[in-house]
Amino acid sequence: MSPEIVVLSGPTASGKTALGVALCRALGGEVVSADSMQIYRRMNIGTAKPTAAEMQGVPHHMLDVAEPWENYSVARYVEEASARIDEIRARNRLPVVVGGTGLYIDSLLSGRTFAGGPVDPALRQELNERYDEIGGAGLLGELRKVDPDRAAKLHAADKKRIVRAMEVYILTGRTITQHDAETRALPPRYHAVRIALDFADRADLYARIDRRVDAMFDAGLLDEVRALLDEGVSAACTAMQAIGYKEAVGAVRGERSAAEAAARIRQETRRYAKRQLTWLRGGGDYYWIRFQKAPDIAAACQLSTDFLHSHGIK
């Protein structure tokens, strides 16, 4: 079976955007973003969203598809991104999935569905109230009676997931554990060839992260966050809790200096990059390209196209 899509991933600041564009230009492709923050409108600087100049005329999908206050789910991403991929393939173009959000990529490739079924607002409200009444440990104990495997994975403080697990069982008569097992048994939605970026020396990646954070502040990150707050976006919403934004909120509100916010963003972004690399090493068969000092996009594009040609992508 020939590959249907290309996946290009790697830690933040590793050169994914530039290489993704180069590959699309070389192979007649279009980018499908797999970045859980670049989906939000008006959140451009702190997410390092590609500019029109950086896109170089290559179509980019799954950018700016949600408002900052929306609670955007992985299930919604899979539904919308797979529709874009199918549209791209119908035009005989190559979908190139570019991003570092592992859960998005894994779920998209597997075609994973999420325990959904019907939603009953009244039942959910009742379960939320019961959680408040008997406590997390109490409702988790009730879940343990019907779905011990899922209960073992949850903490009593995880109200949202405990309530949802109970809701799914009551409405469908099937547990989330059963649903997940059935989903894993399904064949993948897409056959993908995967490429991952990294640096030979971790210090070079961290230096790039530091420079990117400095550039974000120079480009007006605090002004971007101030504008979002002024339009009524809550600092407590999911989007504003992302790395870069929650620290900038503190600076805008005078709770910390801009320098302190920048230092915290650098630290948290480095930790995030480590988590991304851990995910990449543990999942999927990736062809690794490791840069020396700085990304050599031309060389990486040549290596990548040679690799893709060997897998039937011309």
Dump pLDDT digits (tens) for 265-310: 999 999 999 999 999 998 778 999 999 999 999 999 999 999 999 9
Residue 118 confidence (pLDDT) above 80: no
Crossing angle of the two packed helices 74-90 and 102-110, in degrees rounded to 10: 60
Q: What is the pLDDT of residues 153-165, one digit of tens each?
A: 999 999 988 998 8
Residue 114 confidence (pLDDT) above 80: no
- Helix runs in the chain, H state only: 16-27, 52-55, 74-90, 102-110, 121-146, 148-153, 159-172, 176-184, 202-219, 221-230, 245-252, 258-282, 297-310
Categorise residue 42: left if φ over 0, alpha if ψ from -120 to 50, beta otherwise: left
pTM, two decimal places: 0.81
121-184 classified as CATH 3.40.50.720: no
- Half-sphere CA count of 45, side-chain side, radius 13 A: 19
Residue 113 confidence (pLDDT) above 90: no
- Residues of the chain within CATH 3.40.50.300 domain(s) are 5-111+191-220+273-310
Both tokens assigned to 305: 């196209």
Residue 4 confidence (pLDDT) above 70: yes
- Residues of the chain within CATH 1.10.20.140 domain(s) are 121-184
Residue 131 confidence (pLDDT) above 60: yes
Q: What is the pLDDT of residues 211-236, one digit of tens each?
A: 999 999 999 999 999 999 999 999 99
Query: What is the C-alpha separation between 105 and 266, in angstroms, rounded?
Result: 25
The whole-chain average pLDDT of the chain stands at 92
Residue 120: pLDDT band by 50, 70, 90 thresholds?
Answer: confident
The pLDDT value recorded for residue 36 is 95
Q: What topology does CATH give the domain 5-111+191-220+273-310?
A: Rossmann fold (3.40.50)
- Non-local (6+) Cβ contacts of 215 within 8 A are none
Angle (CA) 190-56-10 rounded to 5° is 45
Which contiguous run of DSSP H or E holds residue 286? strand 286-291
Residue 106 confidence (pLDDT) above 60: yes
DSSP 8-class letter at 241: G
Query: What is the C-alpha separation between 95 and 88, in angstroms, rounded?
Result: 6
Q: Is the dihedral of CA 46, 51, 54, 57 positive or negative?
A: positive
In terms of pLDDT, which residue wins out, 222 or 170? 222
- Non-local (6+) Cβ contacts of 51 within 8 A are none
Q: What share of the chain in percent tops pLDDT 70?
A: 95
> What single letter denotes the amino acid at residue 69?
W
Residue 178: pLDDT band by 50, 70, 90 thresholds?
Answer: confident
Both tokens assigned to 246: 């929650």
Q: Give Cα 298 distance to the centre of its chain.
A: 26
Residue 172 confidence (pLDDT) above 90: no
> What single letter denotes the amino acid at residue 214?
D
Q: What is the pLDDT of residues 60-79, one digit of tens each?
A: 999 999 999 998 888 899 99
